[in-house]
Structure 1
Amino acid sequence: MKKKKFPLLVIISVFSFFSCKHEDKPTPTPSTTTDIYIAGNKNYSSGNPIPVYWKNGEAHNLSLGSYSSGIAKSISVSGNDVYVCGSVTEGIYKAAAYWKNDTLHTLTDEVHDAIATGITVENNDVYILGQEYNASTIRVPKYWKNGLETVLTNGTNDALGEKMIVKNGEVYIAGYEYVGTTMIPKYWKNGVGIELPSVDSKTRASALTFVGNDLYIAGSNFQNGDMGVIYWKNGNLQVLSQGLSYVHVNSVAVSGNDVYIGYTDELQAGKYWKNNTLIPLMDGSSVASLTDLYSYESDIYMLGNVGENTILWKNNSKIATDTNASFEDIQIVQH
């Protein structure tokens, strides 16, 4: 039987066609943008503060509905939705409130003063930290999950939950509770209080963060007439400084192996500790208060005020400012 012969050109062409068909094409890299969201307040000519959030420097006023004023304290972004919490006022008492985008939702009535101070969204669940005075004018810390309230104390002692984080559906809140004249530092896990080791009778836990499975809580103490900056790592107490007449610790962040703790001192001067090194927010030519400190990738972002200007710093360099306003909380999101 006679074999058919195919021209070499045809064979090469067919081989080339199938080779091209099976060649892997490079997958295009999806484009992403990094957006900076800040919650805060603007003071307009009316004299009443207006809750605001900024996205990449552009201010968005939040609706007050029938209320005359309000304040924003915290922000969380989930997908295309922006959540802000704070309070609204019409009359004597404040109501704890939050906004989803520009829609206002109140969490309490106006029988007693209340405020929402922290908000986090995880897996479409909305967690909000707040406090409300009871009929005996005692502060009662609480949090809401999707509107369902969990009270942290029985309302007998003055107490405060200062900062909240949510990790895999579990709620952690740093704060303190008075027992008589003694301030007990503690954190609550899913509503159950856990006492922290104290330096003295007035030790306060006021900020917290997780790094992996390690829980960092920052705070302050009062000892022999002086205040200091402290933190706990998994419950183990470390004292960073002592000898201040006043200190308010408001933030803790961890970047790599570095621990950052932000605070404002008796001169309303913002400073932060990087491990065991104290760093002022400004060079001394002016005084800046510090309201928040936030780590993103390898950078540290800080919010604060200098006179009537509110400022965002990135690694101690000023990158944004606004006038007659206050920055309260920051979140950086990659879309």
Structure 2
Amino acid sequence: MAAYWCNGEQTLLTNAEGNPAASTIANGIYVDGDDVYAAGYFYLPGGITHGVYWECGRMSTIQPSDSYGSTFLSDICLKNGLTCIAGRDGTIGNTIAQYWFDGDSYPLSDEGTVSQTDQMFTDGNDLYIVGRNDTMPGYWKNGSFVDLSYGGDASYVTALLKQGDDIYAAGQYTDVDKYVPLWWKNGEAHPLTVNESANIYGMWVNGEDIYLAGSSGVLFDRAAAYWKNGEQTLLTGKNNGCLTCVAAVGEHIYAVGFEQNAAGNTVIKLWKDGQPSDWTDGATPAYAEGYFIR
């Protein structure tokens, strides 16, 4: 069931009948005043998904186009007071990265590619969407793609932000036998040095300090970790731990993610200066996919 947490308090997102929306996952979240927006998908048997989003608790569905079998929504925000949603439309082997603005769809990639979107945000009238345009990782600015390929085809951009006039991005690339974290500033890549495979899912910039959030290890044998200027901090053992975000606020460092407990269920956690607090009870698996800080 799709849900969001505000300072540890859970709210289950509901379907059109007002019941908890079973078989749904929320990938992105946006907050405007007291209004909460979320976007994700509803999954059906056979691997088919329909994109769904919530505006102030009301769920709507984006049906697949006639040519494709699935829609998948990755993030949501407001642009000029109107809803803007990033996602993709398609099936295995042919997925079109696109966004929906005020109900209308706008393709970002070409037919016959395997393309996708991830995070999105607005800056004034500019719309930025992270994703993968066929084999090229990067981002779209107002529909024009910026290629951030590094180390061959197997590189990924998973986070993007703007500070002043500078554009920062973060992700990972494949180096022989492992994923290696890296970040970009205005298109210039800065790979990290790691001893084992690592994945990046969030980024924070605080002046000259670059924070990356993710995991260190492979598959479920991974630890929740963040890097500050390339120096790694582990927040868990290798208990299927992973971070979605890290943020430096004042003198404190906050991180959100999850860790698997003894019962085999993942628990959503907030770490403040390395000290964890549980946001779920561990009775069922829970995952943090997106975040919004204000």
Q: Which structure's residues are more often helix, by fraction?
A: 1
Distance 2:117 2:240 in 1: 28
- In structure 1, what residue type is equivalent to 2:182? I
Does 187-196 or 85-94 show the bigger shift?
Answer: 85-94
Identify the match of residue 76 of structure 1 among 30, 36, 48. Answer: 30
The corresponding residue for 2:88 is 131
The residue identity in structure 1 corresponding to 2:75 is G
The 2-side partners of 1:146 and 1:320 are apart by: 37
Unaligned runs of 5+ in 1: 1-49
Q: Secondary structure at the match of 1:327?
A: coil
Any idea what SS the aligned residue of 1:331 has? coil
Distance, in Å, in 1 between the alignment partners of 2:77 and 2:251 is 22
Deviations 1:43-63 (A, max 9, x none): xxxxxxx11122232222211
* 2:55 equivalent in structure 1: 100
1:155 aligns to 2:155 (yes or no) = no
Whether 1:293 and 2:254 are equivalent positions in the alignment is no
CA distance in 1, matches of 2:252, 2:95: 36
Q: State the one-letter code of the partner of 2:77.
A: T
Larger radius of gyration: 1
Change (3 A) 1:242 1:175: farther
What corresponds to 1:220 in structure 2?
172
> Which deviations, in whole Å up to 9, do the C-alpha atoms of 1:65-124 show, x marking residues without a partner?
377521111111111211111112455522111111211111224862222111122442
Q: Against the structure 1 CA distance between its residues 275 and 98, is the aligned structure 2 distance closer, same or farther, given a 3 Å change threshold?
A: same
Structure 1 position 299, deviation (Å): 4.0
Tell me what 2:4 maps to: 53
How far residue 188 of structure 1 moved from its aligned partner, in angstroms, is 1.0
CA contact (8 A) 1:303 1:328 kept: no
Question: What are the superposed Cα offsets for residues 224-264 of structure 1, whole Å, 9 maximum, x if unpaired?
Answer: 333211111001111112553x4322111112321111122
Mapped to 2, the partners of 1:112 and 1:296 lie a distance apart of 43
1:18 counterpart residue number: none
Q: Contact 1:64–1:70 (CA<8 Å) still a contact in 2? A: no
Match of 1:33 in 2: none
**Paired residue for 1:249?**
200
Would the aligned equivalents of 1:143 and 1:149 in 2 still touch at CA under 8 Å? Answer: yes
Residue 273 of structure 1 aligns to which amino acid in structure 2? W
Distance 2:209 2:44 in 1: 44
For residue 232 of structure 2, what is the aligned residue in structure 1?
Answer: 278
Q: Could you say what secondary structure the match of 2:222 adopts?
A: coil
State the shift of 1:194 in Å: 1.7
Determine the C-alpha separation between the residues in 1 that align with 2:244 and 2:53: 20
Shift of residue 268, structure 1, vs aligned partner? 2.2
In structure 2, runs of 5+ residues without a counterpart are: none
**CA gap 1:161/1:300 in 2 versus in 1, 3 angstroms:** farther
Identity of aligned residues (%): 26
SS for the counterpart of 1:250 is strand
Classify 1:172/1:299 alpha carbon distance in 2 versus 1 (closer, same or farther; 3 Å): farther
Aligned to 2:160: 208
Change in 2 beyond 3 A, CA 1:130/1:301: farther
Larger RCO (CA under 8 A, 6+ residues apart): 1
What does residue 120 of structure 1 align with? 77
Kept in 2, the 8 Å contact 1:128–1:144? The answer is yes
Query: 1:298 deviation in Å?
Result: 5.3
2:279 alignment partner in structure 1: 321
